[in-house]
Structure 1
């Protein structure tokens, strides 16, 4: 079986995740990157979208999760996103990065992120 990589980078979605009240009240932008391991050989051979991951639908699904129910930790958010990616039976492995560039940190910084990788068991 071939394993190819489908990536979606820089998906920016406003969410209300965090442990502090002000993060839940006003929210902030989160940036999502995903890389999905999938066999795209049949899609390439047939030129048919039904044999691969529709990245437009994927982006909508991920955006709904980020904009949806708040969680305390970006680790939890990343896991929910990875599970949504793996819900597509064509995806064998999902690598998800959640960036929180406006995290409430007193020091100057450019980004905080978590990257997780989950596989179909």
Structure 2
């Protein structure tokens, strides 16, 4: 059974979206990640080098959101999952990308896309 490390509410401004005005003006995105890890090595050693450095991971997620625009939130979520799986200690990841200001024809408080990926 794997343990979990969760980073909730990583906020950044990105220029992702299907519409030109989204890509030109940008909007806020919020990202949650849940990492499936074995925390026993870190618990035994009490050393940061034996676990996922969530500060560094958070910075990488922000860079992905602020980086090259994509049309679909699904594509952004996949990029973030790939970043998380770069760390060999991460066995699986769940990524939720929130797009609270998504342009919709009806009032919607938040639009999210959640993906789950595992190491092959």
| TM-score, length-scaled by structure 2 | 0.98
Moved over 6 A (4+): none
The one-character-per-residue Cα deviations of 1:85-109 (angstroms, maximum 9, x if unpaired) are: 0000000001000000100102111
Gaps in structure 1 of 5+ consecutive residues: none
Partner of 2:97: 98
**Aligned residue number for residue 117 of structure 2:** 118
Provide the C-alpha distance between the structure 2 equivalents of 1:113 and 1:63, rounded to a whole number of angstroms: 17
Distance 1:3 1:101 in 2: 31
1:108 aligns with 2:77: no
Aligned to 2:41: 42
Q: Distance in 2 between matches of 1:111 and 1:41?
A: 36
Q: Which residue of 2 aligns with 1:7?
A: 6
SS at 2:100 equivalent? coil
Q: Provide the aligned C-alpha RMSD in A.
A: 0.6
The one-character-per-residue Cα deviations of 1:12-58 (angstroms, maximum 9, x if unpaired) are: 11000001110011100000000000011010111000010000000
- How much has 1:59 moved relative to structure 2? 0.2
Cα deviation, residue 3, structure 1: 1.2
Post-superposition CA distance 1:51-77 (Å, at most 9, x none): 100000000000000000000000000
